[in-house]
């Protein structure tokens, strides 16, 4: 089901969405793109993707889990209830929308993490087709289509006049039935597709997948490719699918909060125990990162934990390029 809207109406629609819940749109803050609460800012004329992935709004770097307070002779404990307020994020890129769905099985299952799952449940995702390939990205190799996405409630394609919208879910459909949109057809949708600049695929994901097990034991390969890594962890902090976390306590003498925060497999103390550290060497940690995303995650959840957004490539301080490693494995 397709609809279309012109630019003027689109801005009105965004404001009307505020009656539904908190609306987040791509916004430039401190010279960086983020998803910010819609207040007075304009819909951006041009943006590639946010620096920090949208996962941050679902799995924040600091999530309070519980608090406690000592009282004379006893102790009170208070579990933080995740927020239930409805929100809408407009302008998600297909890679980031995919990452939110990829993380779902990690947080679901026998031990359901309500913090993530509720955030996913309470958020309506309105994706936006890309107009350019981001620096460092390899989304198409990762089978993420920059022009289409089923991981949203509504998916938009920009046109010179406005947008063409594709309805994906029932709750998405509810948002378009408000008088702002006109009905559109398959042909409008197809006409709104933008030609993405071409380049030959760097690797075939299926071949990378097939080769990873045999590459795992090649210590020299991992030593070579990880040699310049600084263990700074920026690739994991900016990765839309990295989900490793630490649980920490913050306290004053009589009360405190237990929270979780991001942690990184790049850090030497990530696996450090009293007696030994199974990933004390850098090449083991880098191998873990690549193997977790492209091999172990697939074995556990039948999906690759990478969407090819290119943040790890683009923002690595030493230009360690994951694409080169995947191409070498290919």
The CA–CA distances, whole Å, from 309 to 97, 239, 241 equal: 11, 8, 10
Q: Which of 154, 265, 266, 313 binds another protein (CB under 8 A)?
A: 265
121: nearest Cα among 157, 176, 169: 169
Q: Residue 303, interface with another protein (CB under 8 A)?
A: no
Shortest Å, Cβ 320 to another protein: 20
Give me 153's structure tokens. Answer: 């409630």
Query: Would you say the C-alpha torsion 275, 281, 285, 287 has a positive or negative sign?
Result: negative
Q: Residue 279, interface with another protein (CB under 8 A)?
A: yes
Neighbour-count burial of 322, counting CB atoms closer than 10 A to its CB (0-12 exposed, 13-18 middle, 19+ buried):
buried
**Shorter beta-carbon distance to another protein: residue 37 or 250:** 250
Shortest Å, Cβ 203 to another protein: 22
Q: Residue 81, interface with another protein (CB under 8 A)?
A: yes
Q: Which of 246, 268, 317, 319 binds another protein (CB under 8 A)?
A: 246
Give me 90's structure tokens. Answer: 């407009």
**Shorter beta-carbon distance to another protein: residue 149 or 295:** 295
Q: Residue 85, interface with another protein (CB under 8 A)?
A: no
Q: Which of 256, 321, 327, 330 binds another protein (CB under 8 A)?
A: 256
Shortest Å, Cβ 304 to another protein: 13
**H-helix or E-strand containing 16?**
helix 7-17
166: nearest Cα among 37, 151, 119: 151
Q: Residue 45, interface with another protein (CB under 8 A)?
A: no
What are the start-end ranges of the E strands in 57-196? 62-71, 74-79, 87-92, 123-128, 154-158, 162-167, 182-184
Summarize as ranges the residues that interact with another protein (CB under 8 A).
65-66, 68, 75, 77, 79-81, 106-107, 109, 111-114, 117-118, 121, 213, 216, 243-249, 251, 256, 258, 260, 263, 265, 270-276, 278-279, 284, 288, 291-292, 295-296, 299-300
């Amino acid at each position: 089901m397709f609809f279309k809207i012109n630019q003027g109406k689109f801005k009105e629609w965004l404001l009307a969405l505020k009656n539904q819940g908190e609306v987040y749109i791509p916004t430039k803050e401190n010279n960086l793109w983020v998803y910010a609460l819609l207040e007075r800012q304009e819909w951006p004329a041009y943006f590639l993707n946010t620096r920090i992935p949208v996962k941050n709004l679902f799995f924040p770097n600091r999530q309070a889990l519980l608090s406690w307070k000592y009282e004379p002779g006893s102790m009170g404990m208070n579990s933080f209830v995740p927020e239930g307020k409805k929100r809408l994020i407009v302008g998600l890129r297909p890679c980031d929308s995919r990452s939110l769905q990829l993380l779902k099985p990690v947080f679901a299952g026998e031990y359901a993490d309500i913090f993530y799952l509720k955030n996913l449940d309470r958020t309506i995702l309105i994706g936006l087709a890309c107009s350019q390939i981001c620096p460092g990205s390899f989304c198409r190799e990762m089978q993420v289509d920059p022009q289409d996405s089923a991981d949203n409630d509504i998916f938009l394609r920009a046109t010179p006049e406005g947008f063409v919208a594709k309805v994906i879910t029932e709750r998405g459909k509810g948002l378009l039935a408000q008088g702002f949109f006109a009905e559109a057809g398959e042909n409008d949708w197809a006409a709104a597709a933008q030609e993405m600049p071409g380049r030959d695929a760097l690797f075939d994901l299926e071949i990378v997948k097939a080769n990873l097990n045999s590459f795992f034991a090649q210590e020299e390969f991992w030593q070579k490719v990880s040699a310049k890594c600084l263990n700074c962890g920026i690739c994991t902090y900016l990765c839309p699918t990295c989900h490793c976390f630490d649980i920490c306590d913050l306290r004053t003498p009589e009360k405190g909060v237990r929270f979780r925060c991001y942690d990184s497999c790049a850090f030497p103390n990530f696996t450090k125990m009293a007696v030994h550290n199974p990933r004390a060497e850098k090449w083991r940690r880098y191998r873990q990162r690549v193997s977790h995303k492209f091999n172990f995650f697939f074995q556990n959840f039948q999906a690759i934990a990478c969407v090819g957004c290119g943040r790890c490539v683009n923002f690595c301080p030493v230009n360690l390029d994951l694409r080169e490693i995947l191409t070498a494995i290919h």
